[in-house]
Amino acid sequence: MKAAVVVFPGSNCDHDMFEALKLMGVTPEYVWHKTDNLDQYDLITLPGGFSYGDYLRCGAIARFSPIMTAVSSAAKAGKPVIGVCNGFQILAEAGLLPGALLRNEQLRFVCRYVWLNCENTDTRFTSSVEKGKPLRIPVAHGEGRYFADDSVIDQLEENNQVVFRYCDEEGNALKDANPNGSINNIAGIVNKSGNVLGMMPHPERAMESLLGSGDGRRIFESLIQ
């Protein structure tokens, strides 16, 4: 599998993503945001960071980078696309995923481990995740509060597009387990076709139990399978 790690001005988790993919036996390549063709890649990744300094809104400027036309084309062709943190924000700004990511409810940057329930293990991103066993994965964001109007939230829930939900260690989706105030404790969603995933937690930073958690491997294992 050959994967594109898209790099925008201000990306700072591109190396994390690159190394995580390499660790899993994937062949990653850095792809600069001015590239306009992604046909040679099997997987497209949009890593975290602060693209364009997070001016205006997070992801609002990156959404207009030339590469996003290629990302949209790849998504429409059915290729898997994963956006993590700032990558999720960019996918939402580009209209590849519904909703928006707003300032954290407490108006503070949050950087810590959280627990996630995998609500849908029947996706190409989660087939290796054990249902009912929460994942321990870190978050690091200031604008991670998922928001959408009631009709969009209802559709996401009805279509099983909510893939990850913040929870406690026992799997309970409590308010105290929600690090940013996201509606319905939403931490990650997929598009209707199921090939575009956006999530705020960083699986690429949870690859080794020695460093805190190896639960992020489940996402990459799923993609490889």
**What's the residue count for the chain?**
225
Is residue 64 within 8 Å of residue 27, measured between CB atoms? no
Is residue 191 within 8 Å of residue 162, measured between CB atoms? no
Which residues are annotated as catalytic?
85, 202, 204
Q: Which residue, among 186, 183, 120, has the nearest Cα to 149 in the 3D structure? A: 183
CA distance 211 to 208: 5
* Cβ-Cβ contacts under 8 Å for 46 (sequence gap 6 or more): 6, 71, 81, 82, 83, 84, 86, 87, 88, 90, 91
CA distance 101 to 193: 21
User: Which 3 state secondary structure label does DSSP give 129?
Assistant: coil
Enter the tokens of residue 45: 């990744």
Q: Are strands 81-84 and 196-199 parallel, antiparallel or unpaired?
A: parallel
